[in-house]
Every structure is written in C-alpha cells, then in structure tokens.
Amino acid sequence: MELLEGILTRRSIRKYTEANVDEEQIRSLLEAGMQAPSAVNCQPWHFLVLTSKDRMLEVTKIHPYSQMLKGASCAILVLGDTTLEHGPGYWAVDCAAATQNILLAAHGLGLGSVWVGIHPREERRVAFKELFELPDHIEPFALISIGYPAEVRPKPDRYKQNKVHVNKW
C-alpha cells in the first residue's frame, strides 16, 4: 500500500480475530515507532510490549476505554522518559509521533490497532505507573491495542476546507 493511501485509510480497529501477531511484526512496529521525529533527536521514548493476556486484562480494570484488549493479540505501551526530553513537555509530543508511526505501520502490515489514551489524564497516569512499576522519570503516554482486524471500517472524509487558512486567518 502506498503511504498516502495508508494514512487516508487507517482506522481505529477494536475487534480482532484470534490470530497472533508474531515477534517479527512486533519488532517492525517498534522500529517504526523509533523512526519518529523527536525534538533535537532526543528520542525520549521507551516501549513496554504486552503479550500476556493476563497483563492485558489487568489494564482493562484500570482504563475504562481499554476493553478491546480482551480480544487483542498484543499491546504496546508508549512511555516517555523525562530525563531524555529536549525540554519540559517535549516527551509527550515526541511520544505522539512515535505512537502515530506505530499505528500507521500496523495498518501497513495488515493489522488493526487503536490508540488508547493515557496522557494527560492524571488518574490513568498514576494507575499505569503503579501497575507496571514504572520509575519516577518514566511517564505513560498511550497504549496501542493490536491484532488482526475482525471488522472493516469505512474511510471517512475528514477533509474540511473551512479549517484551512492561507497566509492569514
């Protein structure tokens, strides 16, 4: 699939088949995440890969919008390292770029995925830090649920000309 087609057709997929995502595919997703741009190339990210059904079920108890993990093959927790960020708050922007790269790579590999938000919700941040015993300088940003799609979602037309401004507001 061409890059632009992938961007325009990627959808949040919450229903999965029972097929497993293999280690090579997971590595490809992580490579895509690590290719994201970051401020001054600081790359303030870490990735915690979840393949254990038990661990994913634990997440469904602390995050109200993570129920799709019950059917997912795996998940990737995108984490920001505040000791590596370019300046205050940059880790979140950089982790957003890494998250989007993983979502697009999943689509390109024929996988379904969905961005499950954590940052900036304090109660979610604290719950994930506790569940995964994260060090103080590691901040949970997002969780990406991944599996083979068991649903097809149509491509919406999200282009809105009234949101485009040229040379002035």
Asked if 44 and 94 count as a contact pair (C-beta separation under 8 A), the reply is: yes
Q: Give the separation between CA 23 and CA 74, rounded to whole angstroms.
A: 10
> Residue 137: pLDDT band by 50, 70, 90 thresholds?
very high
pTM to 2 decimal places: 0.97
In a domain, 4, yes or no: no
In a domain, 5, yes or no: no
Phi, psi of 7 (to 5 degrees): -65, -45
The token pair at 27 is 């590595």
Domain that holds residue 65: 10-152
Q: Give the separation between CA 70 and CA 126, rounded to whole angstroms.
A: 22
Task: Give the tens place of pLDDT for each residue, 16-68.
Answer: 999 999 999 999 999 999 999 999 999 999 999 999 999 999 999 999 999 99
Number of domains in the chain: 1
Q: Give the separation between CA 102 and CA 6, rounded to whole angstroms.
A: 12
pLDDT computed for residue 138 by the predictor? 98
In a domain, 105, yes or no: yes
Residue 84 sits in a domain of what CATH number?
3.40.109.10
In a domain, 3, yes or no: no
In a domain, 168, yes or no: no
In a domain, 75, yes or no: yes
In a domain, 92, yes or no: yes
Task: Give the tens place of pLDDT for each residue, 101-127.
Answer: 999 999 999 999 999 999 999 999 999
Give the chain's mean pLDDT: 97
In a domain, 82, yes or no: yes
